[in-house]
Amino acid sequence: MEYEPVIGIEIHARINSKTKMFCRCSNNIFNEKPNSHVCGICMGHPGMLPATNQEAVKKGIKAALALGCTINEFSKFDRKSYFYPDLPKGFQISQYDKPISEHGKVVITLPDSTSKTIGITRLHLEDDAGKLTHTAGGTLVDFNRSGTPLMEIVSEPDMRSVEEASLYARQIQKIVRYVDASDADMEKGQLRFDINVSLRPKGQKEFGVRSETKNLNSFRSLEKALEYEIKRQTEILESGGKVVQETRGWDDNKEVTVSQRGKEEAADYRYFPEPDIPPLVATKEMIEELKKEIPELAHAKADRYQSELSLPADHAHQLSGNAALADYFEKALAVSGEPKKTANWILSELMAVEKDITHSKLSPENLGKLIKLIEDGAISGKIAKDIFQEVYEGDLDPEKVVEEKGLKVMSDTGELEKVCLGVIGKNPQIVADFKGGKEKAIGGLVGQVMAATKGSADPKMVNEILRKLLS
């Protein structure tokens, strides 16, 4: 029998606010000395009072808006009970039945350029736990991460392949970065995935029993774990067995998922409203203000680049996929006025030398000017490529470079005629050959005029002038 995978993903993204979710400790914890960013609140001391971080809430709302979610004007926090040594409170502060936002969607573009919409069930806010490090001498605990702000983004079970799941996860990373809600740097543990996978016979409507594999922290492990789970469940079903609903972990070295525990139900967590934190109220005005801060998103940009600027789909997606690159393109375009050439120059010439577009050596204005010079016919594309490296290295004004080097196309026919006459005078033999019927001899004269003008003349024009002078 042929089976179809059904995949839903829960993504934890660290909000990049200055401080933690419910205390004033710094949220900048990467590579910091263990337990150097802690206080009574995030260490779970009894009797401490948490206070909600407004900046983190606003960033969460911005991400939710960018994901097309409806913002709930009233939401609240709940305690979700766990017992772990790195969770000194004995519970996580999360949002259960009244999350800050729900019902969003994300569009992914498949390699064949078709799009698919993946539903977002909810985005809610919560705090993170600390971190355990197991050593030969015992287990160490670092509470720097404890209380750092997270948004959990839960998808609908809408994905049907590893590829779709991977594109979805990448799209979420892009979107939370676009609105500056999270740096979403996986190497710093700022983005983590839980994958829910089930199989069903092709054509069947009901979903099968799922497993959940937690805490994948790279796109590679996300893909590998999905492949592994699909294969594992296929083998179980094909041999007549039943998939058990359970929580699994990922062994990155062996590249296998391993059973950790039976699936816990909501009741196991003993959810109840967090009594120390007032409900979250997001006013209509606040939501409207935040909406204004959201930049045009990658997908909308890609559509616009194609419809308004007539860029080919691949260029439109390449440019819009990275906010800094899109910004660079739009600034250069404002000067050059020529979308296709500008896209080409950025994606070929510039990308070949520039590794960090955010701090590009060459300003978009100067690149725009260079393209405009070609567009206006002041220099040829070849000259532009010749001087590109120099313009790039020094962020030079290409107009000045062209001026100083005398590289402008000699569109002044009087000027060109003079050069042509000079070349004719110096080459009686070639002239005689040409006049004697050797058509090809004129090439020699054109070449010398081009050399004399340092390539700045239009060879076609030179050819015409020479023929006129020699007739």
What residues line the site for ligand ADP (CB under 6 A)? 6-10, 154-157, 196-198, 207, 210, 212
**E strands, 204-255, in order:** 211-216, 246-251
Closer to Zn ion at the Cβ: 30 or 269?
30
Using CB under 5 A as the binding rule, whether residue 48 contacts Zn ion is answered as: no
Q: Whole-number minimum distance, CB 140 to ligand ADP, in Å? A: 29
Q: Is 445 in the site for Zn ion (CB under 5 A)?
A: no
- CB of residue 23 to Zn ion, shortest distance in Å: 3
Distances (CA, A) of 292 to 32, 123, 179, 273, 289: 35, 20, 11, 32, 5
22 vs 388, which CB is nearer to Zn ion? 22
- Interacting partner of 169 out of Zn ion, ligand ADP, none (Cβ under 5 to 8 A depending on kind): none
What are the strands, taking DSSP E only, across 345-407? none
The nearer residue to Zn ion, 4 or 276, going by C-beta atoms, is 276
Helix, strand or coil for residue 387? helix
Q: Which of 6, 39, 287, 347 contacts Zn ion by CB under 5 A?
A: 39
DSSP SS3 for 70: strand
Q: Which stretch binds Zn ion (CB under 5 A): 31-39, 261-269, 307-315, 452-460?
A: 31-39
Q: Which is nearer to ligand ADP, 125 or 316 (CB)?
A: 125
β-partners of residue 155 are 120
Q: How far is the CB of 126 from ligand ADP (least distance, A)?
A: 12
Which residue, 25 or 106, is less far from Zn ion as judged by CB?
A: 25
DSSP letter at 279? Answer: P
Q: Which residue is nearest to ligand ADP (CB)?
A: 8
How is residue 26 annotated by DSSP?
B
Which residue bears the tokens 């930049």? 295
Buried b (16+ CB within 10 A) or exposed e, 194-214: bbbbbbbeeeeeeebbbbbbb
CB of 197 or CB of 416, closer to ligand ADP: 197
CB of 180 to ligand ADP, least distance (A): 25
Distance CA 131, CA 146 (A): 8
Q: Is 325 in the site for Zn ion (CB under 5 A)?
A: no
Half-sphere exposure of 146 (CA within 13 A, CB side): 28
Partner that binds at residue 23, options ligand ADP, Zn ion, none, CB closer than 5 to 8 Å by kind: Zn ion
**Number of residues this chain uses to bind Zn ion (CB under 5 A):** 5
441 binds, among ligand ADP, Zn ion, none (CB under 5 to 8 A by kind): none
CA distance 413 to 419: 10
Partner whose binding site includes residue 155, from ligand ADP, Zn ion, none (CB under 5 to 8 Å by kind) = ligand ADP
Distance from C-alpha of 362 to C-alpha of 391, rounded to nearest angstrom: 7
CA angle 361, 300, 151 (to 5 degrees): 85
We find the least distance from the C-beta atom of residue 297 to ligand ADP, in angstroms, to be: 22
Q: Name the residue nearer to Zn ion (CB basis): 26 or 463.
A: 26
Q: H helices within 267-380, ranges in order? A: 284-292, 298-307, 313-320, 323-336, 339-345, 351-353, 364-375
Q: Which does 383 bind (CB under 5 to 8 A by kind): Zn ion, ligand ADP, none?
A: none
Consecutive H or E run containing 466: helix 459-470
- Judged by CB under 5 A, does residue 42 bind Zn ion? yes
Residues 61, 280: Cα–Cα separation, whole Å: 12
**CA 167 – CA 74 distance, rounded (Å):** 32
CB 145 to Zn ion: min, Å: 11
CB of 4 to ligand ADP, least distance (A): 11
* Residue in 7, 9, 21, 25 binding Zn ion, rule: CB under 5 A: 25
25 binds, among Zn ion, ligand ADP, none (CB under 5 to 8 A by kind): Zn ion
Partner whose binding site includes residue 42, from ligand ADP, Zn ion, none (CB under 5 to 8 Å by kind): Zn ion
| Closer Cβ to ligand ADP, 210 or 248, answer by number | 210
Give the pair of three-digit tokens for residue 334: 């404002």
Nearer to Zn ion, 25 or 446 (CB): 25
State the minimum distance, in angstroms, from the CB of residue 376 to Zn ion. 60
Q: How far apart are the first and last CA of the chain?
A: 83
39 binds, among ligand ADP, Zn ion, none (CB under 5 to 8 A by kind): Zn ion
Token pair belonging to 289 = 């203000």
Encoded amino acid at 450, one letter: M
Binding footprint of Zn ion on the chain (CB under 5 A): 23, 25, 39, 41-42
